[in-house]
A and B are shown apart, each in its own frame.
Chain A
Amino acid sequence: MKKLLTGNEAIAEGAIESGVEVVTGYPGTPSTEVILTLLPQEKELGIHIEWSVNEKVAFEIAAAAAWAGKRALVTMKMSGVNVIADSLSSVAYSGCNGGLVIFVADDPGVSAGMPEEDSRYYAKSMVVPMLDLASQQECLDYAKVAFDISEKIGGPVFLRSTTDISHVASDVVLGEKLNIKRKAHFERDIVKYTKAGAAWCMAQHQDTLNRLTEASKIADNYISESGIKINKTHIEAGSKCGVIYAGAVQGNFQEALKRYNLKLSWLKIGMVHPLPEERIKKFLEKVDRVLILEELDPLIEAEVMRFAFLINKKIDILGKFDKTLSLIGNYSFKKIKKGLESLLEKKFEVEENYEIIERAKKLEIKRPTSFCIGCPHRGTYFALNKAIKNLKYKKDEIIITGDIGCTILGMSKPFESCWTEVAMGASIGLAQGFKWAGIQKPVIATIGDSTFFHAGIPPLINAIYHKVNLTVIILDNGWTSMTGFEENPGTIPIKENNNFRVDIKEVCKGCGVEELYVIDPYKSGQSIDIIMKAIEYPGVSVIVSRRECALQAKRRKINLPKFSIDVAKCTGCQICLNSLACPAMVFHPKTDNYKAFMEISSTCTGCGLCEHICPFGAIEVIKDGK
């Protein structure tokens, strides 16, 4: 059967077909949809699927499930691998019994703001084999291959994709579902599962290296269920030029071969760590000039240079070191075409519309992003800015450290509050650094609820213990909204038989926060006063700004009041628009027949901030909420 699936959906399908029994992860673009696809099927499949509090916890759960003999999958974006690394390096040494697959999605081209990190380095440093995905069919096939190899070698396997694979849909052939129901079983074996002493650790290191060699051997001749060879060599007789490639570049590379009718040899690498050394050496024997196509860092390219050295052959190697291609961004058709033109030393076609496209680029308009209609964060940042102003500070003298997720939009116009964005939970750690560096004026950290649970609690405890004078504002909207409204421990209970939520206020209290407030960001007046008080407090003060994500509240049919503008009273001054940048507001400029005025469109969700702001009392409730 064929089905249109995105890469991430195909991985979910592949995991089901593999008989996976435990799935964990933390949301992160572009990896989130694997679990989003699986979650609604949890009951039917009779397996455990969860959004864990962070990637490290998710990984540990999956690892122990695999130690107990189950097939387990853990998912994350590349930033998440940084978080699991500590546990991963130990688990990799110990190996596993059931299959343990770590799915990581890299984001070359940055579809969601974060560093363009290349997770393949982790495969090397953690001594874990890695399969690199080149098509949606491979996503399904290789999920199964990864479990198979993991169990054959007795160690975890990385499954890596990139945005252009994960977020593109293609027709995918489905396979048979393996029916695996294993009884959990774990034997005490401290030589394998602990790290006590040099001898055991070094023996485990050797085991890990052996598993790597074994994985490479298995992969090199592996043909997946739908007939895909993991590593594949194509030799074009009569051509001395070749391409070595891996990952998402495959589509555009094959497209260019067809479009320009190119005849050249190529080697596709499906397992990027460890590389198929003998296969690459054999390939290099056949070519004099080779182009390496891999997004992000030149990992394969560096190894190809080493292999060329080992076979003692002078080969022209084109890629990133010689600056034919860039380390930055994903590889569009244009970039790959350019690479192939350099390889073959000829132009395939001239770019004819260059000037027109340049002109169009100049005319393009920017659409600055702001908070969604009704977003409670708008209220929090509005109140925070007002509080700073009321305390007679200038905006550019109060450092506000921001964090990951929707809350960082507070850096944009019109609020321009946040100064920094580093990593999950980092806002609270950074704020302490600024204080110890000697910043005299108040320092404020803002962070979201899911981010706080993920990595915000240890730095908060640190601040309390070391008695740092700072203010932390936790913008608690009850959802992990940025990545698609996933649940977190603080989410309003949505599951059957679960009416429990972890209350961030209680967490803060338990950590020892003495100056602790809860505010409603829709109530500006009160919020401003409390934020002022908190900033003035000489020690750790925490404000939990609590109001459900407006989009989720709307979905859950929570009705708020409806607002409208009394056009007669509206002067068209735009104070509301300029201070809130609410997308529900429409400005009507002055015409020959009528004065300028604002309109609140039907998309308004009723946060009521504009009513508070309007100096002319032109905004009024037209329908009460319930």
Chain B
Amino acid sequence: MENNIYIIGVGGQGAIRLGQAITNYALKKGEKVKFFKEIGMAQRGGPVHCEIRIGEVFGSRIPPYSSDTAVVMELAEGLKALEFVKPGGTVILNRKKVYPMDMMTHPEKYPQEKEIKELFKKVKSKIIWMEAEKIAAKIGLPVAENMVLLGALSFVSSFDKEFMLEVLKKSIPRELDKNIAAFRAGYETAEGMDK
């Protein structure tokens, strides 16, 4: 079995931590794993993306049309994921826009949410909308946005939830309870949408 997960966002959203959590989980499950990360100018608000490949794979990067699940943490960045999503695969779209400096004063230049959605439909993705930051904020830890998305992804990818929780408990340095709550909330939200 091969499982390819593509994660994209911008600096500060915790995309790499999200990828690391999945990687740890898979490794502890005894799977073969490859983990690619592109950090670049993350400290300066630039795009961040990572790819996790689980199973018998050779290349470190996901070939076009091959990601089973894509997690789009920032909407406009999601456009870069279109080339990689597998027809029939799932994309988790986080309803979040981070404007670059020049768009703060001209938000109309930011791509339309509707069009992004249409494009994912055209490549035959199953779309799951999330408002991860809002969910995390309700728990009292807005930065746990990535944990909410990890929860949703864990449901979509049929990960062993309890096992993932065990892995998380050993690796989260701070605010463990809130992070776990964020994970559970994300999992349940995705589960609820599936019903």
**B158 in contact (CB, < 8 A):** no
Q: Which of A4, A333, A366, A577 contacts B104 (CB 8 A)?
A: A577
Which segment, of B74-82, B159-167, B171-179, faces chain A? B74-82
Q: Which of A369, A581, A587 contacts B105 (CB 8 A)?
A: A587
- Known contacts A111-B38, A111-B40, A255-B59, A353 near B101 by CB under 8 Å: no
The CA-CA distance from A253 to B61 in the complex, in Å, is 12
B23 touches A366 (CB 8 A): no
The CA-CA distance from A551 to B42 in the complex, in Å, is 13
Report which residue of B65, B79, B80, B107 has the largest number of chain A beta carbons within 10 angstroms of its beta carbon. Answer: B79
Report which residue of A255, A334, A366, A370 has the largest number of chain B beta carbons within 10 angstroms of its beta carbon. Answer: A255
Q: Which residues of B contact A352 (CB under 8 A)?
A: 65
Total residues of chain B contacting the partner, CB 8 A: 46
Which residues A215-262 have CB closer than 8 A to chain B?
250-255, 258-259
A169 touches B34 (CB 8 A): yes
Which residues B32-81 have CB closer than 8 A to chain A?
32-38, 40-41, 43-47, 57-61, 63-65, 76, 79-80
**CB of A333 to closest CB in B, whole Å:** 4
Q: Which residues of A contact B82 (CB under 8 A)?
A: 353, 356-357, 360
A371 touches B44 (CB 8 A): yes
**CB of A448 to closest CB in B, whole Å:** 16
**A437 in contact (CB, < 8 A):** no
A171 touches B58 (CB 8 A): no
Q: Which residues of B contact A370 (CB under 8 A)?
A: 44-45, 101
B107 touches A589 (CB 8 A): yes
A356 touches B57 (CB 8 A): no
Q: Which residues of B contact A167 (CB under 8 A)?
A: 36-37
Which residues B122-153 have CB closer than 8 A to chain A?
122-123
The CA-CA distance from A367 to B100 in the complex, in Å, is 5
> What residue of chain B has the Cβ atom nearest to residue A165's Cβ?
B60
A170 touches B35 (CB 8 A): yes
The CA-CA distance from A335 to B182 in the complex, in Å, is 40
Q: Which residues of A contact B23 (CB under 8 A)?
A: 4, 169
Q: Which residues of B contact A332 (CB under 8 A)?
A: 61
Report which residue of A252, A369, A589 has the largest number of chain B beta carbons within 10 angstroms of its beta carbon. Answer: A369
Q: Which of B60, B76, B101 contacts A577 (CB 8 A)?
A: B101
> What residue of chain B has the Cβ atom nearest to residue A2's Cβ?
B27
Complex interface bits, B86-121 against A, C-beta within 8 A gives 1, otherwise 0? 000000000000001111110101110001100100
**CB of B118 to closest CB in A, whole Å:** 9
**B10 in contact (CB, < 8 A):** yes
Which residues A474-519 have CB closer than 8 A to chain B?
none
- Known contacts A171-B27, A356-B119, A574-B105, A366 near B61 by CB under 8 Å: no
The CA-CA distance from A587 to B107 in the complex, in Å, is 10
B44 touches A252 (CB 8 A): no
- Known contacts A366-B100, A367-B100, A369-B41, A360 near B59 by CB under 8 Å: no
A170 touches B33 (CB 8 A): yes
The CA-CA distance from A399 to B101 in the complex, in Å, is 27
**CB of B180 to closest CB in A, whole Å:** 23
The CA-CA distance from A4 to B115 in the complex, in Å, is 39
- Known contacts A365-B111, A367-B46, A583-B44, A254 near B100 by CB under 8 Å: no
**CB of B77 to closest CB in A, whole Å:** 8
**B83 in contact (CB, < 8 A):** yes
Q: Which residues of B contact A191 (CB under 8 A)?
A: none
A168 touches B35 (CB 8 A): yes
Q: Which of B60, B104, B110 contacts A586 (CB 8 A)?
A: B104
**A359 in contact (CB, < 8 A):** yes
**CB of A360 to closest CB in B, whole Å:** 4
- Known contacts A254-B58, A356-B123, A364 near B103 by CB under 8 Å: no
- Known contacts A252-B61, A367-B45, A171 near B32 by CB under 8 Å: yes
B103 touches A258 (CB 8 A): no
**A198 in contact (CB, < 8 A):** no
A255 touches B63 (CB 8 A): yes
Which residues A288-341 have CB closer than 8 A to chain B?
332-334, 337
Q: Which residues of A contact B47 (CB under 8 A)?
A: 367
**CB of B95 to closest CB in A, whole Å:** 17
The CA-CA distance from A356 to B82 in the complex, in Å, is 8
B35 touches A333 (CB 8 A): no
Q: Which residues of B contact A333 (CB under 8 A)?
A: 59, 61, 63-64
Complex interface bits, B1-41 against A, C-beta within 8 A gives 1, otherwise 0? 00000000010000000000001100100001111111011
Q: Which of A4, A168, A356 contacts B36 (CB 8 A)?
A: A168
Complex interface bits, A565-605 against B, C-beta within 8 A gives 1, otherwise 0? 00000000010010001010011010000000000000000
> What residue of chain A has the Cβ atom nearest to residue B79's Cβ?
A360
The CA-CA distance from A367 to B101 in the complex, in Å, is 8
**A363 in contact (CB, < 8 A):** yes
**A164 in contact (CB, < 8 A):** yes
The CA-CA distance from A258 to B66 in the complex, in Å, is 14
**CB of A102 to closest CB in B, whole Å:** 24
Which residues A162-211 have CB closer than 8 A to chain B?
164, 167-171
A364 touches B27 (CB 8 A): no
Q: Which of B60, B101, B119 contacts A164 (CB 8 A)?
A: B60
The CA-CA distance from A169 to B36 in the complex, in Å, is 6
Q: Which residues of A contact B110 (CB under 8 A)?
A: 365
B83 touches A251 (CB 8 A): no
The CA-CA distance from A369 to B109 in the complex, in Å, is 18
**CB of B33 to closest CB in A, whole Å:** 6
Report which residue of B33, B83, B123 has the largest number of chain A beta carbons within 10 angstroms of its beta carbon. Answer: B83
Q: Which residues of A contact B103 (CB under 8 A)?
A: 365
- Known contacts A369-B46, A586-B104, A251 near B35 by CB under 8 Å: no
- In the complex, 25 of the A-B residue pairs with CB atoms within 8 angstroms, ordered by the A residue number, are A4-B24, A168-B35, A168-B36, A169-B36, A170-B34, A171-B27, A171-B33, A252-B63, A255-B58, A334-B63, A337-B63, A353-B83, A360-B79, A360-B119, A361-B79, A363-B115, A365-B109, A367-B10, A367-B45, A368-B101, A369-B45, A369-B46, A370-B44, A370-B45, A370-B101
Q: Given contacts A255-B59, A333-B61, list 12 more A-B pairs with CB under 8 A.
A: A111-B40, A169-B36, A169-B37, A255-B58, A352-B65, A363-B116, A365-B103, A365-B111, A370-B45, A372-B44, A551-B43, A583-B101
A-B pairs with lowest CB-CB distance, top 10: A254-B58, A251-B59, A333-B63, A168-B60, A255-B59, A169-B35, A587-B104, A360-B79, A255-B58, A252-B59
